[in-house]
Structure 1
Amino acid sequence: MSFSNDLKAAQKHLVDSDKVLAICIKKYGPCHLKPHQDHYSELVTSIIGQQLSTRAAAAIWRRVLDLSKGKPPTPQKLINVDEQTLRSAGLSRPKVSYVKDLAHHVIDGRLDMNLISKLPNDEIINQLTAVKGIGEWSAQMFMIFSLGRLNVLPVGDLGVRKAAMNLYDLGELPNPQTLQELSKKNGWQPYESIAAWYLWKSLNNAGVRTIKNT
């Protein structure tokens, strides 16, 4: 089954199982989630973008691309570039260490970018969070937006929590356990990523990584 057909199946499932999301799906239309192919660059840009606006992060990434003649830098290239050059491109000192640590993980095989899309979610999180500067939230965003994993519920995401509070009249921001119970009650599995996408969409920021933590 193609990914577009997976999305259609997910939307039908959520319409049938959750009256609240059914309204969202009718209002906002098809989910436009689309996996990316360059997983390594996605991880580099996710590190660069932490605690920054989308515009600022894009400007820094363009300067990083300039270091490799407009192409995404390879892991070896990032290791070879000295710290001051990366600092001049706009990376903070911690982020320089983070992208270099990521590059080392890829080069020495601790993180196999050719294999990562085939791993179960828990193993992906374990491998990614072993890299400096990548936390569980960043790993979950990578699985949803880069790998196109359909069943990831980012329970710590502020946007998901706010949307759930508003749509389900919870009265307060739900904690992770409450979100998991909400998912179970309303039958979001095996399409929790798509449920999250529509929760983001209800805040008019679908696809936006709503908190800039790691």
Structure 2
Amino acid sequence: MVTSSREGAVPGAAAVPPYWEEAKAELMKRDRIMKKLIPQIGDLHLVGHDDPFTTLARSIVKQQVTAKAADAAWQTLRQALPRFTPSAVVKAGAGQLAACGLSKRKTEYILDLADHFKAKKVHASQWDQMDDEAVIAELVQIRGITRWTAEMFLIFNLLRPNVLPLDDPGLIQGISQNYFSGEPVSRSDAREVAANWEPYRTVATWYLWRSLDPDPVK
């Protein structure tokens, strides 16, 4: 199972991103692998996460652990803090977060994230109007938020259509298996393949994720 943060759902369960159908048509027209792959996946599509703070906190919990372990830790955390807001997290403090099974470092990261949101050190209300690199630059100032984490946020919260997360192992594996017969793939190789996907690199990436794991990761 691919352990990167990603989801899919049947249409009707959640809104389809507005660019999705056009992107599918364009990718199938331009790319022979996408022409074969997209119909195989069926009606699944990218599903967004509504709340920026929750999305980022969950991404921190998921870092460097299996999907199963991450989901268990996240469920424990949400049960302890049903109202998951920056203020509630700050009030809970390190002790309660650690009691949910989080490491010392992840506890520190989530508290720092909560502090950034509570003190308005980030401009969450403006992210919709900011370009991708500007959002990434702001997010990586928060402890525990890497470029990969920020790119997952662009995909799953802001639903940006043209993100290429080159640090994502699932993307690299998907390109290797689908375009290079399983041979090792460099970042340069990945960029060359993805040049044909613009301006819908998010969509192509999502289909490669699904080619590795057809079941949506929750």
Residues of 2 paired with 1:42 and 1:5: CA distance?
21
Deviations 1:95-125 (A, max 9, x none): 1110111112112222122222322110111
* Distance in 2, Cα, partners of 1:40 & 1:4: 21
User: How far has the Cα of 1:35 moved from its partner?
Assistant: 1.7
The amino acid that maps onto 1:28 is I
61, 68, 83: which one aligns with 1:48: 61
State the alpha-carbon separation in 2 of the partners of residues 5 and 208 from structure 1: 22
Q: CA RMSD in A?
A: 2.0
Instruction: Give the Cα separation in 1 of the matches to 2:157 and 2:216.
Output: 11
Indicate the larger mover: 133-142 or 79-88. 79-88
**Residues in 2 aligned to 1:26 and 1:37: alpha-carbon distance in whole angstroms:** 28
Q: Greater relative contact order: 1 or 2 (C-alpha under 8 angstroms, separation 6 or more)?
A: 2
Q: Residues of 1 paired with 2:201 and 2:137: CA distance?
A: 20
Aligned positions of 1:14-163 closer than 5 A: 14-68=27-81, 70-72=82-84, 74-163=85-174
The aligned runs of 1:198-209 (5 Å cut-off) are: 198-205=207-214, 208=217
The TM-score normalised by the length of structure 2 is 0.85
Contact 1:46-1:138 at 8 Å conserved across structures: yes
Aligned to 1:196: 205
Structure 1 segments, 4+ long, off by >6 Å, are none
Structure 2: give runs of 5+ residues left out of the alignment. 1-14
Give the alignment's TM-score, normalised by structure 1: 0.87
Which structure 1 segments of 5+ residues have no match?
210-214
SS in structure 2 opposite 1:91?
Answer: coil
> Residues 148-187 of structure 1 correspond to what in structure 2 (within 5 A)?
148-169=159-180, 172-184=183-195, 187=196
Secondary structure, counterpart of 2:35 in structure 1: helix
Equivalent residue letter for 2:55: E
